[in-house]
Amino acid sequence: MPPDGDLGITGGGGTLRGRVLVVEDDRALLEAYTDVLLAAGFDVVAAADGPTALRALGEAAFDVVLSDLVLPGVNGVEILRAVRERDLDVPVVLITGNPTVETAVQALELGALRYLIKPTSADELIRATEHAMRLRRLVSVKREVLRYLGHSDRLMGDRAGLEAGFSRATSSLFMAYQPIIRTRDGSIYGWEALLRTREASVPGPLVFLEMAEKLGRVRDLGRLIRANVAQTARRNRGVMFFINLHPDDLLDETLYDASSPLSILASEIVLEITERSPVDSVPDVRERIKALRRLGFRLAVDDLGSGYAGLTSFASLEPDFVKLDRGLVTGIDSQPVKRKLVSSITAVSREMSIAVVAEGIETAGERSVVVDLGCDLMQGFLFRRPEELDADEVFPFVLPP
């Protein structure tokens, strides 16, 4: 066996069944586990303490990790967290000689596959490792299927992995801003704040939001977004800002705090609630909307035509703005059905004193049609892509030619 602090890297010869990291500070057990797994055909990396195991995780990829729970320096739970920060799919089997309900629950909550009790027999060790290896391969196949079908696979994995990714995403959160343009003269009416992160494992705002939903952290994310926008808005008084709300944000009592940084600026804020999620299930939604209006906020229905679109939902919000889903706008200059639909929406909205915003405009032809159909405002790449602004940068009211 290697001396303390060194890695023991060995191979079983022949056809290897997968690579296993074994972490155990008891030298006799570490040798025994290694010998058993080598004889079963696995490639084994042996680590005699937590720091050595972390170094191994940083230097190589593993199919399975077997770790003692109690270790000097870095314990098994910390190793589990480190694994999840690198790979959501690697099964981790924790082993302990001093089981407690608390440690068992913690291990399972953090995504441990198994929780073995010492002394562990050779057969039990092999069965646990083989089971973990099969699951590893199954998840790999599922990811291949998702990629082939063109679906996102970012949210596969256990809670611990999602928590780690979500934490990194929120720590590098920022807002990008895109102008909303008046159709009558091309001037800037306001700016939409769009969620972004520098975390590479979160490819876009929808995945970011899905992570928050799965973890029950939507309100935490909403608070971060509102605080970020409020800080920007304080430096740009007189500028109108549009901010997206998740229906779950309506249950966050901090949203209704009159002394909050965003509420102080409420007269310059439009809260957008998407039709992609239902608001009908929010308790007392009408009273909550009234409370927001009393603070001075205005309301917008975002993505009109994309999702739930129920009459009850729309009546509950009584919006000041409706934002047409980009699916209604893209190619509208060549699709008569879309023109007819947008014309009808615009006519009814005008009767209800609701301003219509056409989103997703990318061509001069699309812009020309939405202007002709009577949309009040427009937004899209044709005018400007969403951009992060420097901390001391002031928002322009007119775009450069």
Q: What is the pLDDT along the chain (401 residues), one digit of tens a residue?
A: 444 455 554 544 434 578 999 988 889 999 999 999 999 999 999 988 888 888 888 888 888 988 888 777 777 778 877 777 776 678 888 888 775 656 555 555 556 667 778 888 999 999 888 888 887 776 665 555 545 545 445 555 556 667 878 888 999 999 999 999 999 999 999 999 999 999 887 888 888 888 898 888 999 999 999 999 999 999 888 889 999 999 889 999 999 999 999 999 999 999 998 766 667 678 888 899 999 999 999 999 887 755 444 444 566 678 899 898 888 899 999 999 889 888 888 888 888 888 999 999 999 999 999 999 999 999 999 999 999 876 566 666 666 55
Q: Does domain 159-378 have CATH number 3.20.20.450?
A: yes
Q: Give the N- to C-terminal CA distance of the chain in Å, as an integer.
A: 71
- The contacts of residue 103 (CB under 8 Å, 6+ apart) are 69, 96
pLDDT of residue 237: 87
CATH topology of domain 7-149: Rossmann fold (3.40.50)
What distance in Å separates the CA atoms of residue 42 and residue 25, rounded to the nearest whole number? 20
Q: How many CB atoms lie within 10 A of CB 217?
A: 18
pLDDT of residue 218: 92
Beta bridge partners of 395: none
**Burial group, residue 284, by CB count within 10 angstroms (0-12, 13-18, 19+):** exposed
Closest CA to 300 of 320, 314, 285: 320
pLDDT of residue 309: 44
pLDDT of residue 373: 95
∠ Cα 96 100 105 (to 5°):
95
CB contact at 8 A, 378 and 370: yes
Helix (H) or strand (E) holding 9: strand 7-10
pLDDT of residue 102: 61
What distance in Å separates the CA atoms of residue 164 and residue 181, rounded to the nearest whole number? 39
Q: For the chain, where do the domains classified as CATH 3.40.50.2300 start and end? A: 7-149
What distance in Å separates the CA atoms of residue 18 and residue 133, rounded to the nearest whole number? 7
What distance in Å separates the CA atoms of residue 229 and residue 251, rounded to the nearest whole number? 20
Q: Is the peptide bond before 319 cis (omega within 30 degrees of 0)?
A: no
Site of tokens 């035509």: 305
- The contacts of residue 204 (CB under 8 Å, 6+ apart) are none
∠ Cα 391 394 395 (to 5°):
115
The residue type at 312 = T
Q: For the chain, where do the domains classified as CATH 3.20.20.450 start and end? A: 159-378
What distance in Å separates the CA atoms of residue 149 and residue 147, rounded to the nearest whole number? 5
What distance in Å separates the CA atoms of residue 136 and residue 211, rounded to the nearest whole number? 22
